[in-house]
Amino acid sequence: MKILLIEDDRRIALPLKEDLEHQLYTVDLAGDGDCGWAMLSATHYDLVVLDLMLPGMSGLELCRRLRERGQSVPILVLTARAATEDKVRGLDAGADDYLVKPFELDELAARVRALLRRPSDTLTPVLRWGALALDPASRTVTYQERRIELPPVKFMLLELFLRYPEQVFSRETLLERLWSLEDPPNDEVVKAHIKGLRDKLREAGVTGEVIETVFGHGYRLKAHV
């Protein structure tokens, strides 16, 4: 899952980015509202975390523009403003949740998980393919109730395919969805990670090909039989 963090205070932004990445999210960082808007216009994100008081375009204006454009990406607002009227303005502008600074990283992580569960997996939080199960909350993968240890990128790949079982992902789309804009690899790296994920699942005893190649188009989750 890919998150855009828009925060101009690097004392807050850098530890928060590191903590989210430790939880196996891909995180891009923007230092002002204009940069954040440009990134949102160019790249898909599963969640936006932003400060209200930003250089350039404010967080409130960014929320309004996103909603006016019809984008439903979840938005978590961070701000030092604790007054009720400030919270109301943020929510009315299109934010989904509101967290007042200073905050605990554990609470923010829980709110991120809650927003990412809406609406697709609210009723089925554990993603499954036969006896293979991925729990986004605990960040664990099991097969026949035995745990499989996956490196971060391979975990994120599997989660993406399980969340969108009908979708074909090109290598370019996978690069956009799972890697930071700061240091994107080439598409041969994507191919290597797909192979590595298949090998890891096979070594764990998973029978059948979980990820299938759609020649000329990319990859998708193979229908389980």
Q: Residue 78 is encoded by which pair of tokens?
A: 């961070």
pLDDT in tens, the chain (225 residues): 899 999 999 999 999 999 999 888 889 999 999 999 999 988 889 999 999 888 999 988 999 888 888 788 899 998 877 666 766 777 778 888 888 888 889 899 888 988 887 654 433 478 999 999 998 878 899 999 899 999 888 998 999 999 888 899 998 888 888 887 766 677 788 889 999 999 999 999 998 899 999 998 999 999 876
2 closest CA partner among 32, 40, 35: 40
Number of residues written out for the chain: 225
Q: What SS3 string covers 105-121?
A: HHHHHHHHHHHHCCCCC
DSSP string, 98-158: EEESS--HHHHHHHHHHHHTTTTTSS--SEEETTEEEETTTTEEEETTEEE---HHHHHHH
> How far is CA 118 from its chain centroid?
12
Q: How confident is the model at residue 208, as a pLDDT?
A: 85
C-beta atoms surrounding 208 within 10 Å: 14
Tell me the domains of the chain and their CATH numbers: 2-116 (3.40.50.2300), 127-221 (1.10.10.10)
